[in-house]
A and B are shown apart, each in its own frame.
Chain A
Amino acid sequence: MKSMNIILSAFRALQRNKMRSFLTMLGIIIGVAAVIAMLAIGQGAEYSVKQQINALGTNVLIVFPGSQQSGGLRMGAGTMTTLTEDDAGAIGKECPAVAFVSPGTRAGGQVIAGNLNWSTAVEGTGADYLEIRKWTIEYGDFYSDQDVKSASKVCILGKTVADVLFPDASPVGQNVRIRNVPFRVIGVLAKKGQNAMGQDQDDIILAPYTTVLRRLSHFPYLRQILISATSPANIPVAESQVRDLLRMRHKIAEYDGDDFTIRNQSDIAETATATTEILTILLASIASVSLLVGGIGIMNIMLVSVTERTREIGIRMSVGARGRDILTQFLIEALVLSLLGGIIGILLGVGGSSAISAFAKWPTIITAFSIILSFGFSIAIGIFFGFYPARKAALLNPIDALRYE
């Protein structure tokens, strides 16, 4: 009952100086709105950077066989004959953090189409290869699981190969001969350009790995297994699941090293995410400076208010208000200012962020966290910056306060 009265009289006191109360709140409004909008922009940027990195295929793991050793001579990575098709199948079935698996092998050779020829690499892959590499077909179709299982003699041309071998016509439906084995072209890959090392990624032919193994390389082991984790965050999980599975399948004793290598590109993703996270923190801390300034504004106005209303404080004390009644009254006034400012600021910040998304086409994300954070901040600011003026009021001597002109 009593505290309700105090809250009511705080509202009334603020109503008496509507303009001043509003201007004081404006500091908090702008501060909270800025924090919310900046967090929204920062998190939006973070999200879109993550999306773009995902599009690069950074949740990809590649398993290579280990190196062969004969005598003292080590033969280099990928020389050991340990990865089998069954390994790849088991990874797909038994590792929950793995989304797609594509067994891989490679063969080089001369490709002939009509009177033109070209030397290129033939990549043997599974049907999910494009999913993993985030690659697309420009026209035609990709080969299916069925094609892979039955080792169909079909192939997909990279853009460069297609341009060289079929400069005038569409290659789809045509035949090419790779090392004298005829393949039917069923699709052409979209242009991907150079990789980070300057190599032309479009100078390639894709074919079912089964076909490549049996018809071209005549080698029963895989060169690599391409794996995509369910999400970039799951890369380490997927990696350990794959490692455990392969060690078990290869019956490696606990004290022996792996007979395979797993590589990933997650460090690229981590760097990029960390960069945008820093950006978000930077934006938010700049915005919170304005929140701080808003808080100082509240303290300033409350100090003015205490001085201005010294007589009122004296009157209240003379009729029996205790120090803590006065403290509560002024603290609540400060809290009402900052809370109201906080609420309006949240609305403004949310509205502003949507406006930024709508007009500037910037991605913005408003999280419950940013709203709770700035709301909590404005309460804390009200208490922190309201306490000193309120205490000053509460400690006034009633006689001096009554005499104050």
Chain B
Amino acid sequence: MSSQDGTPLIRIEHLTKNYQLGDIEVHALRGVSLEIRRGEFAAIMGASGSGKSTFMNIIGCLDKPTKGTYVLEDIDVSGLSRDELAQIRNSKIGFVFQGFNLLSRTSALENVELPLLYCAMSNKERKQRALDALALVGLGDRVHHYPNQLSGGQQQRVAIARALVNRPSIVLADEPTGNLDSRTSVEVMGIFQELNERGITLVIVTHEPDIAQFAKRHIVFRDGRIRSDRVNSTPRVASEVLKELPVIDDEEEEAA
């Protein structure tokens, strides 16, 4: 399927997911098979109701499939308990959400430290790793700011740092640019591209085609099935797109 080099990180076979909504059974996923290799940058696209969010929740170990197998790094995740799934989320998966989902009244540093609170680690190491992750997303100078003192783009970068801090096998982003203006969106995609170049596997869910253009692989969902899965041989490069966009004064944006 993919021409990307590397070993398979995620292997999904005949995945189905049914929801019970009152008397009606909703078939959110109707047999999805997929492989994602290390180092990939895939965009999952599709209209709302196509099953892409359900799919994202399952590969993020937030939800369990009704049928089918999901193997993440040689672990069959589909049969794990709630606590075991939490363990997997803690050690192998990083999440970035549309609404940032930062803890309010908690500094950027503490937000980034959050995943490390749930694994054994010294305070010193935890702080160092959180600082490193914040520096990686370019927020080394804002570690003690609270979310309400940061712009949307900066908040999303804190969220990305939080997703990276536990050195996950894969970073999942659910509509990461949904709450951002177009310039900030491109900036965030730029960070993702940078991370991908460093070898981090990324899967983003988006319904915006021009955001998906930054990814190297497009998987399109429709009615709970994969409709198309193709390589994007000419991804847009965020740093180049940024040069063409009108420059907005960052300071002014913050003040607003």
Stretch at the interface among A1-9, A223-231, A349-357: A1-9
Q: Classify chain A: how many residues form its interface, as a range.
A: 20 to 34
Residues A2 and B82 in contact, CB atoms below 8 Å apart: no
Chain A residues 278 to 313 lying within 8 A of chain B, measured CB to CB, are 311-312
* Minimum C-beta distance from B50 to chain A (A): 17
Stretch at the interface among A43-51, A116-124, A241-249, A315-323: A315-323
Query: How far apart are the CA atoms of A9 and B123 in the complex, in Å?
Result: 14
Question: What sequence of 0s and 1s flags, for each residue 20-50 of chain B, a beta carbon within 8 Å of any chain A beta carbon?
Answer: 0000000000000000000000000000000
- How many residue pairs link A and B with beta carbons under 8 A? The number is 68
Residue of B nearest to A15 (CB): B105
Residues A319 and B114 in contact, CB atoms below 8 Å apart: yes
Contact of A16 among B105, B114, B122 (CB under 8 A): B105
Residues A311 and B101 in contact, CB atoms below 8 Å apart: yes
**Number of residues on chain B facing chain A (CB within 8 A):** 29
Q: Does A232 contact B (CB under 8 A)?
A: no
Q: Contacts A311-B101, A398-B62, A399-B63: A321 and B118 contacting too (C-beta < 8 A)?
A: yes
Residues B166 and A320 in contact, CB atoms below 8 Å apart: yes
Query: How far apart are the CA atoms of A76 and B63 in the complex, in Å?
Result: 95
Q: Does A112 contact B (CB under 8 A)?
A: no
Question: What sequence of 0s and 1s flags, for each residue 1-45 of chain A, a beta carbon within 8 Å of any chain B beta carbon?
Answer: 110011001001000100000000000000000000000000000
Q: Does A80 contact B (CB under 8 A)?
A: no
Query: How far apart are the CA atoms of A2 and B63 in the complex, in Å?
Result: 26
Q: Which of B83, B97, B103, B106 has the most CB of A within 10 A?
A: B103
Residues B89 and A319 in contact, CB atoms below 8 Å apart: yes
Residues of B within 8 A of A6 (CB): 117
* Minimum C-beta distance from B179 to chain A (A): 14
Q: Contacts A1-B120, A1-B122: A321 and B63 contacting too (C-beta < 8 A)?
A: no
Query: How far apart are the CA atoms of A317 and B101 in the complex, in Å?
Result: 12
Q: Does A343 contact B (CB under 8 A)?
A: no
Q: Does A263 contact B (CB under 8 A)?
A: no
Residues A324 and B117 in contact, CB atoms below 8 Å apart: no
* Minimum C-beta distance from A6 to chain B (A): 8
Q: Contacts A16-B105, A322-B82, A323-B83: A2 and B117 contacting too (C-beta < 8 A)?
A: yes
* Minimum C-beta distance from A310 to chain B (A): 12
Q: Does B232 contact A (CB under 8 A)?
A: no
Query: How far apart are the CA atoms of A399 and B83 in the complex, in Å?
Result: 15
Question: What sequence of 0s and 1s flags, for each residue 98-142 of chain B, a beta carbon within 8 Å of any chain A beta carbon?
Answer: 000111011000000011011111110000000000000000000
Residues B103 and A319 in contact, CB atoms below 8 Å apart: no
Contact of B83 among A5, A312, A324 (CB under 8 A): A324
Q: Does B87 contact A (CB under 8 A)?
A: yes
Residue of A nearest to B82 (CB): A323
Q: Does B239 contact A (CB under 8 A)?
A: no
Query: How far apart are the CA atoms of A242 and B82 in the complex, in Å?
Result: 74
Residues A402 and B120 in contact, CB atoms below 8 Å apart: no
Q: Does B241 contact A (CB under 8 A)?
A: no
Query: How far apart are the CA atoms of A319 and B159 in the complex, in Å?
Result: 11
Residues of B within 8 A of A1 (CB): 120-123
Query: How far apart are the CA atoms of A231 and B251 in the complex, in Å?
Result: 85
- Seen from chain B, the residues whose Cβ lies within 8 Å of a Cβ on chain A are 57, 60, 62-63, 82-83, 86-87, 89-91, 95, 97, 101-103, 105-106, 114-115, 117-123, 162, 166
Contacts A321-B117, A325-B118 known; list 4 others, CB within 8 Å: A318-B62, A319-B118, A320-B115, A402-B62
Q: What 7 pairs across the A-B complex have the smallest Cβ distances?
A: A320-B90, A319-B115, A322-B86, A320-B118, A322-B83, A320-B89, A315-B101
| 12 cross-chain CB contacts under 8 A | A1-B122, A16-B105, A315-B114, A316-B118, A318-B89, A319-B95, A319-B162, A319-B166, A320-B89, A321-B118, A322-B118, A399-B63
